[in-house]
Chain A
Amino acid sequence: MSDKVIICEALTKQFGDFVAVNHISFDVGKGEIFGFLGANGAGKTTAMRILCGLSYPSSGKATVAGFDVYKQQESIKKNIGYMSQKFSLYENLTVLENIEFFGGVYGLSSAEIRRRSDRLVNKLGLTQEAKKLVGALPLGWKQKLAFSVAIFHDPQIVFLDEPTGGVDPITRRQFWDMIYEAAAAGITVFVTTHYMDEAEYCNRITVMVDGKVEALDTPGHLKAKFGVGSMDEVFYQLARGAKRSAD
């Protein structure tokens, strides 16, 4: 295997007559920040669920971290991290307990968890709050903590499903700093978002429309190709032809 950590070939998912994901093909390189855009109902979530090992494709091929999405779902799960649009830590557990829990679920040893959580808490500046319930933290901190927990076990790839929903612009910038840091450390970031300014931060972008990949390139190339000044307009031009709407 080369340095491609996600490879999709003609990946398709059908629910009865409805083709949620229609022959999509792309690959993602190691340490890349890969933006996955699309209107609601375009098939992003379905595609992401397949890549996370939560659902089987109907046809096509795909490997994630070198593992087959049909046969090696368990191995995929060990090698990825995931953060959803809903806040996904336990509010009535403390910061440390959350870290310990998710570290434990991914099979890290207690000593390893302690070593890494000390470092993490220091890095996030949460030393004071380490023993406080997560529910008491401000939303921005919660999101940053959730991201740190998602990559706590050093996954090869982290899937972020609209991670910055409802977060203020400053925290979003800080959040993206963390994403860059993770990517620099070699973690591939697969991110869906509805914020087009965030799309500009990605190395490459796919835009899904009605289950198909309509565009796949760097933000710069896409803007040049469509002859527009922002990703917003690129997205609008692609997505307005969509027949499906709503998730």
Chain B
Amino acid sequence: MKQLLVFIRKEFFHVFRDKRTLLIMFGLPVVQIVLFGFALTSEVKNITLTVIDQARDVNATQIINKIKSSSYFIVDESAVNYDEVTTAFKKGTAKCALIFPTGFGNDLQHAGQAQVQILTDGSDPNMAKTVVNYLTAILTAYQQEISPGTQLPYRIIPEQRMLYNEEGNGSLNFIPGVMALVLMLVCTALTSVAVVREKELGTMEILLVSPFKPLLVLLAKAVPYLVLSLANFTLILLLAVFVLDVDVKGSILLLFLVSTLFIIACLSIGLMISNTTNSQQTALLLSMMGMMIPTLIFTGFMFPLENMPWIFQWISYVVPSRWYFLIIKAVMLKGLGFSYIWKETLVLLGMTVVALAVALKNFKIRLS
């Protein structure tokens, strides 16, 4: 036991003296959070809307003012005719436009209906759909405002609510994704490199010749990274809560428990990788590339898994981060308890056991 402690202490020395490792370990989550939280957001906010008001009447002005007062749009009224708008679209300087034809107010008041044209840049379909939705909502609201007495006899009013995320905070989906991605990369890459480094330096031989149990070598390698990964997880959680305003609804303890399980799974995969190679570079490449792509694609936080062909859906079942992502979303964002996530946890546990068994078995084989 004392031997193990001596070994673990040595591993901590390694980590703390290796500035590069520390930078990867704690820089990565910060960069990811900032990137996903601010730069890669899928929300539509402060988008420039080109407005051509050929009507210049009370109704058009009222609608424009309503648009201006929403946080979604910045109204640009510099364009005066249709041609200018099409040119701006071609150049890419305009993404969406709203055009009031001459006589808009007149038509509305006398004929009871009037037309506006909404133009969007269809090469960015997500943005286009969102803009149309926002504008339609504003127009509908205005319509009801100006016709308070004339209620239709039958009306269906859809009441929309985005459950678990009423404000439409785009960070919510990314945070569990970033957690999965960062832990996956950091744990696998750093452990595999730490083990392979000893092989490359020749110190592994010395350790194997010593009475120190080979399995304890792996354990001692993994423990510091487990501790640091939990610190890392805490850092991501804090960043999420205080920087991105994510509300943690579920049990913190449960979050830490499942994260520990996931970290152990990742560490085992790292150890598995370390058995396949003797070069630090290969280990790093294998764990970075080999883990990053599947995590990005098959976890479900960037691309919906439901839309994938069945073969990719099947692949996604063997990606540990997919299950972790589901658990974290359920616990952190929906506040669900263990009874809702036990299946996913069981899958993750199974994966951990298999990965760990393979890692330990191969390590033994290398000795004889």
Contact = CB atoms under 8 A, between A and B. Distances in A.
Contact of A88 (B9, B13, B203): B203
Contact of B210 (A77, A90, A93, A97): A77
A202 interface: no
A91 B202 CA distance: 12
B167 interface: no
Contacts of B2: 104, 107
A86 interface: yes
Given A56-B368, A105-B211, A105-B212, A88 B205 contact: yes
A54 B208 contact: yes
B363 interface: no
B50 to A, nearest CB: 60
A74 interface: yes
Interface in A84-134: 84-93, 97, 100-102, 104-107, 133
A203 B5 CA distance: 40
B35 to A, nearest CB: 31
B203 A89 contact: yes
A21 to B, nearest CB: 15
B79 interface: no
Interface string A38-74: 0000000000000011111000000000000000001
Contacts of A85: 202
B6 A100 contact: yes
A105 B17 CA distance: 21
B201 A86 contact: yes
A97 B10 contact: yes
A145 interface: no
A82 B202 contact: no
B6 A104 contact: yes
A165 B367 CA distance: 25
A80 interface: yes
Contacts, number: 74
Given A55-B368, A86-B201, A86-B202, A105 B209 contact: no
The range of chain B's interface size is 20 to 34
B354 interface: no
B10 A77 contact: no
Contacts of B7: 101, 104-105
A105 B210 contact: yes
B18 interface: yes
Contacts of A80: 209
A92 B367 CA distance: 26
B18 A92 contact: yes
Nearest to B206: A88
* A56, A74, A101 — most chain B CB neighbours (10 Å): A101
A90 B207 CA distance: 12
B68 interface: no
Nearest to B13: A93
Interface string B183-209: 000000000000000000111011111
Contacts of B313: none
Interface residues of A, number: 31
B45 interface: no
Contact of A105 (B202, B207, B367): B207
Given A54-B209, A84-B202, A105 B368 contact: no
B277 to A, nearest CB: 17
A53 B3 contact: no
Nearest to B208: A54
Contacts of B367: 54-55
Contacts of A86: 201-202, 205
Contacts of B201: 86-88, 90-91
B209 A93 contact: no
Contacts of A87: 201-202
B66 interface: no
Contacts of A84: 202, 205-206
Nearest to B203: A88
Contact of B211 (A83, A90, A91, A106): A106
Contacts of B3: 104-105, 107
A6 to B, nearest CB: 15
Contacts of A91: 201
Contacts of B210: 77, 82, 102, 105-106
Contact of A97 (B13, B202, B368): B13
A88 B206 CA distance: 7
Interface of A: 52-56, 74, 77-78, 80, 82-93, 97, 100-102, 104-107, 133, 159
Given A55-B368, A100-B6, A159-B209, 12 more contacts: A56-B368, A82-B205, A82-B210, A88-B205, A90-B203, A92-B13, A101-B9, A104-B3, A104-B5, A105-B3, A105-B6, A107-B2
28 contacts: A52-B209, A54-B209, A74-B211, A77-B211, A82-B210, A84-B205, A84-B206, A86-B202, A88-B203, A88-B206, A91-B201, A92-B13, A92-B18, A100-B6, A101-B7, A101-B9, A101-B10, A104-B2, A104-B7, A105-B3, A105-B210, A105-B211, A105-B212, A106-B210, A106-B211, A107-B211, A133-B17, A159-B209
